[in-house]
Amino acid sequence: MDIKQKNAGIAAREKWDAIAKPLGSLGLLEESIVRIAALTGNADVRLDKRCVLVLCADNGVVAEGVTQTDSSVTMSVARNLVRRQTSVCRMAAAARADVYPVDMGMNTRPDFAGLIDKRVANGTENFLEKPAMTREQAEIAVKNGVALAHDMKSRGYNIIATGEMGIGNTTTSSALCAALLGLPVEEVTGRGSGLSDAGLQRKIDVIRRGIARHITEETDTLGALAALGGFDIAGMAGIFIGGALTRIPVLIDGFISAVAALVAVRLRPACAPALLASHISGEPAGIAVLNALGLKPLINAEMRLGEGTGAVAALPLFDLALAVYHGSSSFADIGVAQYTPQ
């Protein structure tokens, strides 16, 4: 953090403290604005132009029966994203955010227009048979995510919300979570889109076998990402890194997005100041990943839809915070002595 960024963060804190209200009484809303000021180097925080990047990719591990639906659903939802009819599209319209669906590597090329093309390959491999991707593919996917952040910067966006769509990606993210945090597989694995008890046990077994096959004490973060992850996770990791490089705050969505943020911080620790947590995912390890990142979520609504819906749900909270930040009377305005820490 350079001196300009540090001073902007201090100025934002001083502005909050001068507003005629109890010190720190808006909690994480205040902290988020201070964090954004420090990242951008500007205490005059404005989030008027916002976007959602929804990264679409297919995962070869679906072949192991770890999902309720097959991979064709990924393309169907991508088509609906283009039509602006999915859940995140409707929420984004209400939150004044633009939605950009991105093809990171679905099983086939879409036969319709409207997606940003950042595809790496026709889906990943089944990680029980071979690594999900090569290290080179993982690097390309991360770099594609960085490029997306730069693109959004060039378009004038002030904040990026991350989202994903990919059948099987709660399996890939649970596998990465267990591998990176050293947590028991059964503690980090949920039912995804509604697995039965038997389906959940099969999913846990697949993840255990994948980790046993690919992960050793010598495996680095990129190696774990390549072995077990997905193009969507790698791309989101790149967006978080790119957010720091371009000084655009990036909202973590749910569990899958949070795992991508963990990958990003492990790859490039300096990107951490760009990260903002939107909500606690309904997936079992949602809070564990946020704790590992040292972040507190704004929302606890037991959401687990994906697509960026949780990240978008946080945007109106920033609007409310900024309404106070920019429009409230100060203690001086009303002739009252300013509160001080006691």
Q: What is the pLDDT of residue 342?
A: 74
Q: What is the pLDDT of residue 315?
A: 98
What are 255's two structure tokens?
A: 């569990």
Which of 30, 64, 283, 307 does the annotation list as catalytic? 307
Note down the domain range covering 70.
50-317
Residue 109 pLDDT > 80 = yes
Q: What is the pLDDT of residue 88?
A: 98
Between CA 65 and CA 30 the distance in angstroms is 45
pLDDT in tens, 259-313: 999 999 999 999 999 999 999 998 889 999 999 999 999 999 999 999 999 999 9
Task: Determine contact, residues 51/152, Cβ cutoff 8 Å.
Answer: yes
Other Cβ atoms less than 10 A from the Cβ of 30: the count is 22
pLDDT in tens, 197-228: 888 899 999 999 999 999 999 999 999 999 99
Other Cβ atoms less than 10 A from the Cβ of 212: the count is 9
In a domain, 184, yes or no: yes
Query: In this structure, what CATH number is given to the domain that contains residue 288?
Result: 3.40.50.10210
In a domain, 12, yes or no: no
pLDDT in tens, 174-201: 999 999 999 999 999 988 877 888 888 9
What are 64's two structure tokens?
A: 């192991």
Cα dihedral across residues 23, 27, 28, 29: positive or negative: negative
In a domain, 149, yes or no: yes
Q: What is the pLDDT of residue 194?
A: 79
Q: What is the pLDDT of residue 232?
A: 98
Q: Which helix or strand (DSSP H or E) is residue 34 part of?
A: helix 27-40
Other Cβ atoms less than 10 A from the Cβ of 133: the count is 27
Task: Determine contact, residues 230/210, Cβ cutoff 8 Å.
Answer: no
Q: What pLDDT band is residue 50 in, cutting at 50, 70 and 90?
A: very high
In a domain, 33, yes or no: no
Domain count, the chain: 1
In a domain, 25, yes or no: no
307 included as an active-site residue: yes
Q: What is the pLDDT of residue 199?
A: 82
In a domain, 73, yes or no: yes
The end-to-end CA distance of the chain, in Å, is 29
